[in-house]
Amino acid sequence: RSMNTFLIIYLIILISEAIISTILKYTWQAEEKWDEPWYNQKTEHQRNSSKILRFISDFLAFLVLYNFIIPISLYVTVEMQKFLGSFFIGWDLDLHHEESDQKALVNTSDLNEELGQVEYVFTDKTGTLTENEMQFRECSINGVKYQEINGRLVPEGPTPDSSEGNLSYLNWSPYLFHRRKFPVTSNLVLPPKEEALMIKEHGLFFKAVSLCHTVQISNVQTDGIGDGPWQSNLTPSHLEYYASSPDEKALVEAAARIGIVFIGSSEETMEVKTLGKLERYKLLHILEFDSDRRRMSVIVQAPSGEKFLFAKGAESSILPRCIGGEIEKTRIHVDEFALKGLRTLCIACRQFTPKEYEAIDRRLFEARTALQRREEKLADVFQFIEKDLILLGATAVEDRLQDKVRETIEALRMAGIKVWVLTGDKHETAVSVSLSCGHFHRTMNILELINQKSDSGCAEQLRQLARRITEDHVIQHGLVVDGPSLSLALREHEKLFMDVCRSCSAVLCCRMAPLQKAKVIRLIKISPEKPITLAVGDGANDVSMIQEAHVGIGIMGKEGRQAARNSDYAIARFKFLSRLLLVHGHFYYIRIATLVQYFFYKNVCFITPQFLYQFYCLFSQQTLYDSVYLTLYNICFTSLPILIHSLLEQHVDPHVLQSKPALYRDISKNRHLSIKTFLYWTTLGFSHAFTFFFGSYFLLGNDISLLGNGQMFGNWTFGTLVFTVMVITVTVKMALETHYWTWINHLVTWGSIIFYFVFSLFYGGILWPFSGSQNMYFVFIQLLSSGSAWFGIILMVVTCLFLDIVKKVLGRQLHPTSTEKAQLTETNSGIKCLDSMCCFSEGEAACASVGRMLERVIGRCSPAHISRSWSASDPFCTNDRSVLTLSTMDSSTC
């Protein structure tokens, strides 16, 4: 976007120069002696031609003469840089996950620089922040809570010294098993018969868990499996379940450990072993899960001929549709599970009479065979079937956090990036996980916008939150929003909602549908600030938000590859996001910014002398440079140094960038492609061009002979001198901008200058038979034979770059940025800051050593010059506390 703006500005400059040249030409020719001089008489056709046509013709001729100011080759170079630069992400060993042997993938190279401009990160929770490896922990059956300990399902409340075979139960209910009474005791162990009885009395719950799923099973020997109630050691070694959802796999495995083992299915049947007894259920219908219903169901026919519907889903989608069971107790238990950070599902069932089943079977058939509005009809039928349910209980599974999630979120926050978590989990579960992963701090003021039922209530709550943010003297606020409240807020109160969100350091959206995630991201994208957004997800339900964000990151997790395939970049773990943004994003942005600015700079240097030359040739459209030089300037003489720089430049060590996330702030808001920076480079280009031209003019003007034989230089020698100084200056300027030198940089930088000299000697030393004119024959050789020309070349190059060096030195001395300070660090056995722009060796003045200043210009420092290193109490170099608290550095530290 910035590049297009710059091109428009340069197009205006081109047109302006062409118009000025055309007007001045006709102004000059207003005098008769210059309109038709004796040595350039007009033809009869020229005298009789239209003045308007001549004006247009001259204007177009000047456009052609100056058109090289528009860097057309910039687009080619940018595309090459993006394509070739994208390979570095895949080659980065720090982005390689050894356990899964997965490296980072780049699906598009057009967004590399956007990685350095991210202001908002939207992330899913399950599988993105967590491992997506579910472990069954607890359940609620008929209003009683149980937890799995050492492969046994026991009532909740074992003492810490409990062990298998000796469990003491707290809050033991005499009516634990619904109809069967057990005595209250402080140290109770259920005998195997009692365990079997418990399974039988709670069999419907476990059978629902074993049947309501889409799990597949490997073809293994199943004889002997499930013959006892507690087969925790036997089951995993014989059965291997495969599921698209880790939740389903964890629940089916838990039921198998308890003694109700799912051992296989076909298109029509599902087989379950209950305490060794094989039962075959006829699978009649599957009501697939979708994000709107947030539940799935199966209709099966039991061996006895009864037809059941088993349903499971979020408590918000199951409990309102239940008419029986321990609804209130289960609701309390679900909330308690959620507070522990566990993922919850509710289990319910419904038994059909033959007449009811016949009706729903007919309606399902009609909906599934409908030729029009099939999805809507199926949704209506599903809603009709999944009602009047009997609540059986709820399950709770644990999904542990990935490694270094807390550190990654903290690094992003220090980099000035706001992190939003968008999840479909229950409110309590989401808040618990946000606290554990560092998304919310314990000291953060947590605001809530939940359980809103009306537009007026939502608006009033938003106003109250806005007032609290204004009145509370708290540095950081966190906001929790649930799906229904978000829908109300986005309906009529978008501006108020966005004001509240922008005032919060962290936002958590729970009970979110996939489309709601995309809407939230779009809302941020179209806000007045137009921030760059990034979305991270691992599953198919995250694809919509990944595609909506400016940059989409897919996690190659356990829910398939839909997210990775539909994303711009794919990484194996969330922790790699910090390196992707803070290191690669930083490098890509700096490289592309320097590439764009440098291209405009060197083209201004190239064409401005051509414009100035017209003042000395009566605007006759005489070219200053030979046509071969015009063609090869951007193709051969100056292209490789900037291309290699844009691929290999590392202005700060990667480890420093990752350890100091606040350096990311230095490139935020498109700072290096701002109008201010663009004007600096453009002004620098014009100043250098004036130095080239007038320096050469004063050297060769006034009929001075620079050759020993008294021979004079002509206009082609003058143009060649200007071109030679220009090629050397813009190449050395690129060298001054380079902080990370490799043998490739040396080869292309100094090799470009050597190639220019060799080519010019070769091109000007031969009479080319296919060339229409021999204007350049012996010109370059004759130019280099003059010692004064050599002195002039060196003097003009030094003059051009001296002011730029002084500006860099003074800028680093007086107003150093945090990045410039970080350029003075060195990584050895850990990262420590060796020097500061405001700190010098004892007794040394700021400008005591010119050599040291030059080292500062190119971003280096010599440890030998340094008498102090940053201490642990330094507010900037250790952990950037000064940046986070928005306080300036105390001068006493320097």
pLDDT tens readout for residues 90-111: 999 999 998 888 999 999 988 8
Backbone phi, then psi, for 460, in 5-degree steps? -65, -40
pLDDT at 587: 94
Which residues form the catalytic set?
124
pLDDT at 880: 33
297 falls in which pLDDT band (50, 70, 90)?
Answer: very high
Coil, helix or strand at residue 654: helix
pLDDT tens-digit series, residues 756-765: 999 999 988 8
pLDDT at 39: 64
Q: Are 406 and 359 in contact (CB under 8 A)?
A: no
pLDDT tens-digit series, residues 705-759: 566 555 667 788 889 999 999 999 999 999 999 999 999 999 999 999 999 999 9
702 falls in which pLDDT band (50, 70, 90)?
Answer: low
pLDDT at 715: 81
pLDDT tens-digit series, residues 46-81: 666 777 888 898 899 999 999 989 988 888 999 999
pLDDT at 201: 55
Binding residues: 124-126, 248, 289, 312, 343, 423-425, 511, 517, 538, 541-542
Q: What percent of the chain has pLDDT over 90?
A: 33
Q: Which fold has domain 87-129+402-582?
A: Rossmann fold (3.40.50)
Cα end-to-end span (Å), the chain = 40
Q: Are 245 and 539 in contact (CB under 8 A)?
A: no
Alpha helices in 815-876 (DSSP H): 818-822, 850-857
Q: Rounded to whole angstroms, how far apart are CA atoms 107 and 105? A: 6
| Mean pLDDT, residues 264-282 taken together | 84
pLDDT at 116: 92
Q: Are 112 and 588 in contact (CB under 8 A)?
A: yes
Alpha helices in 737-822 (DSSP H): 743-764, 779-784, 787-814, 818-822
Q: Rounded to whole angstroms, how far apart are CA atoms 506 and 841? A: 43
Q: Rounded to whole angstroms, how far apart are CA atoms 69 and 8? A: 12
Domain 131-212+282-398 matching CATH 3.40.50: the answer reads no
Q: List beta partners, residue 292.
A: none
The encoded tokens of residue 366 equal 């009609």
pLDDT at 828: 37
Beta-carbon count within 10 A of 288 CB:
12
pLDDT tens-digit series, residues 440-480: 887 788 888 888 888 888 888 999 998 888 887 777 888 99
Choose between 412 and 155: higher pLDDT: 412
Least trusted range by pLDDT, from 87-101, 173-187, 436-450, 677-691: 173-187
Angle at 675 between CA 671 and CA 676, to 5 degrees: 75
Mean pLDDT of all residues belonging to the chain: 80
| Mean pLDDT, residues 784-798 taken together | 89
Binding residues for ATP: 124-126, 248, 289, 312, 343, 423-425, 511, 517, 541-542
For 10-150, list the strands marked E by DSSP. Answer: 105-106, 118-123, 130-141, 144-149
Q: Are 600 and 7 in contact (CB under 8 A)?
A: no
pLDDT at 562: 85
Alpha helices in 121-164 (DSSP H): none
Taking every pair of C-alpha atoms in the chain, what is the biggest distance, in angstroms? 128
Choose between 594 and 864: higher pLDDT: 594
Answer whether residue 554 shows pLDDT above 90.
yes
- Do the domains 87-129+402-582 and 131-212+282-398 sit in the same CATH topology, yes or no? no
119 falls in which pLDDT band (50, 70, 90)?
Answer: very high
C-alpha pair distances (Å), 157 with each of 257, 491, 833, 876: 20, 45, 53, 49
pLDDT at 430: 84
Q: List beta partners, residue 297.
A: 287, 311
pLDDT at 104: 93
Closest of 795, 766, 625, 779 to residue 707, by C-alpha:
779
pLDDT at 743: 94
Closest of 537, 477, 547 to residue 512, by C-alpha:
537
Amino acid, res. 513: A
pLDDT tens-digit series, residues 190-226: 455 555 555 555 778 888 998 888 888 875 544 444 4
pLDDT tens-digit series, residues 641-671: 999 999 999 988 899 999 899 999 989 888 8
Binding residues for Mg(2+): 124, 126, 538, 542
Strand order in the sheet with 506-510: 105-106, 569-571, 551-555, 532-537, 118-123, 418-422, 506-510, 477-482, 445-449
Q: What percent of the chain has pLDDT over 70?
A: 81
> What ranges do the domains of the chain cover?
1-70, 87-129+402-582, 131-212+282-398, 824-893
pLDDT at 856: 45
503 falls in which pLDDT band (50, 70, 90)?
Answer: confident
pLDDT tens-digit series, residues 318-363: 999 999 888 999 999 998 888 888 888 999 999 999 899 999 999 9
